[in-house]
Structure 1
Amino acid sequence: MTKIRGKNDGPRGRNEHYDVGSRKNVPRRNIVAEIKRGEHPGAHVVKINDREYARDNPDRSKSDNVNRGK
């Protein structure tokens, strides 16, 4: 499964781009579309203030969260 990592590069730390495996700076709308197509089964889309974002499916590990911290 490809790891998705948020860049926290938007206003107030929002993810406008993601690193997805070896792909760098993938725009938010692209990764959201990929998740909706089922290309990342370990992730889902959440809608916050009318914007859609990638999120990892819940589990007990913090090391594989989209926003791992710096």
Structure 2
Amino acid sequence: MTKIVGNNDGPGGRNETYKIGNRPNVPRDQAVKEVEQGKHPGAHVVKINNEKYVRDNPDHSKKDNVNRNK
């Protein structure tokens, strides 16, 4: 499964881009589209203040969270 890591590069630490596998700067709208198409089964999309973001599916591990500590 491809890891998705948020770059925390937007206002207030929001993710405007994500690192997905070996692609370091995937724009948020592209990452959302890929998740909605089922290309990343370990992730889902959430809508916050009318903006869509990628999140990992819940589990008990912090090491694979989108916004993990770097």
TM-score normalised over the length of structure 2:
0.98
Match of 2:37 in 1: 37
Q: Please, what is the CA RMSD of the aligned residues?
A: 0.5
Match of 1:68 in 2: 68
Match of 2:57 in 1: 57
The residue identity in structure 2 corresponding to 1:36 is: E
In structure 2, stretches of 5+ residues that fail to align are none
Runs of 4+ aligned structure 1 residues displaced above 2 Å come to none
Correspondence 1:3 to 2:3: yes
In structure 1, stretches of 5+ residues that fail to align are none
Instruction: Tell me, in whole angstroms, the C-alpha distance in 1 between the residues paired with 2:15 and 2:60.
Output: 22
Match of 2:16 in 1: 16
TM-score normalised over the length of structure 1:
0.98
SS in 2 for 1:33: helix
